Amino acid sequence: MIRVLFVCLGNICRSPMAEAVFRDLIQNEGLAGKIEVDSAGTGNWHIGEPPHRGTRKKLDEVKIDYSIIKARQISVSDLDQFDYVIAMDEKNLIDIHAIAQENPTAYIARLLDFVKHNPSKDVPDPYFTGNFDLTYDLVKEGCEHLLAFIREREQI
């Protein structure tokens, strides 16, 4: 099983959206038995909460399920248990590297690192911008490129 963890700050806006979108892609491509997905936040403020109302509204609009998602905080062991740890922005990336052991086994990157033509590699935080439509567009494009990358790298 290949395990993918999406990480943002609060685990209520961007990374749960990425988790839901990526799981939907995996199911559509018949890879549900090969890839598992989860999300976590670097912060602890929202542990146990469902996704933010803006994320839920957008996912309802595009008919993607998020019913099993509850916020949790990233832990050191995630860096060994997940094969891909995917940050939403540079601050998340710095925070992930700060808790990682010297040579983490996980492949650590930002989601938009996989989208070559995109000049900015950060998914702006809709908790502050309110723009969940832009978040969805960037997350969807990032997830499609990430899945193509994983399929190629893992030969699946």
Active-site annotation, residues: 8, 14, 125
Q: Are the CB atoms for 103 and 48 separated by under 8 Å?
A: no
Q: How far is the CB of 30 from ligand 4NP (least distance, A)?
A: 29
Residue 78 to residue 143: CA distance in whole angstroms = 20
Is residue 143 close enough to count as binding ligand 4NP by CB under 6 A?
no
Is residue 44 close enough to count as binding ligand 4NP by CB under 6 A?
no
Using H for helix, E for strand and C for coil, what is the string for the chain?
CEEEEEEECCCCCHHHHHHHHHHHHHHHCCCCCCEEEEEEECCCCCCCCCCCHHHHHHHHHCCCCCCCCCCCECCCCHHHHCCEEEECCHHHHHHHHHHCCCCCCCEEEEHHHHCCCCCCCCCCCHHHHCCHHHHHHHHHHHHHHHHHHHHHHHCC
Among 45, 61, 137, 154, which residue sits at the site for ligand 4NP (rule: CB under 6 A)? 45
What string marks each residue from 11 to 40 as x (binds ligand 4NP by CB under 6 A) or -? xxxx--------------------------
Is residue 8 close enough to count as binding ligand 4NP by CB under 6 A?
yes
Is residue 9 close enough to count as binding ligand 4NP by CB under 6 A?
yes
Is residue 85 close enough to count as binding ligand 4NP by CB under 6 A?
no
Is residue 7 close enough to count as binding ligand 4NP by CB under 6 A?
no
Among 4, 10, 20, 82, which residue sits at the site for ligand 4NP (rule: CB under 6 A)? 10
Q: How far is the CB of 140 from ligand 4NP (least distance, A)?
A: 15
What are the residues binding ligand 4NP (CB under 6 A)? Answer: 8-14, 45, 125, 127
